[in-house]
Amino acid sequence: MKAFRYAIVGGGWRAEFFLRAAQYIPEVFEVSAVYLRHPEKYPHLAEQYQVNIVDNEADLLKSEPEFVVLCVDRKSMADLT
């Protein structure tokens, strides 16, 4: 069975939960990219989790995720759906 490939929007504690899931069970989950509006706020994510950080929706979709996990607050979520 191939791993579920997903992208993450956001960089806070929720995002790190989904990043750790992919890190601990890579045979089940794979992160295609992490979309951050302000990547400078989260410099550790790319290094710690070995993921591709993008700063726009087009690049996020180019990573070809099967689904996207929104890890942002409700106010920001309205802009993304």
Please give the domain boundaries of the chain with CATH numbers for all domains: 4-80 (3.40.50.720)
Average pLDDT, the chain: 93
Model confidence at 75: pLDDT above 90: no
DSSP 8-class letter at 23: H
Looking at residue 39, what DSSP letter applies?
G
Average pLDDT, integer, range 54-81: 89
**Segment 29-50, tens digit of pLDDT:** 999 999 998 888 888 999 999 9
Closest C-alpha to 71, from 47, 45, 48, 50? 45
Q: Name the helix (H) or strand (E) containing 69.
A: strand 67-70
Would you state the pLDDT for residue 81?
63
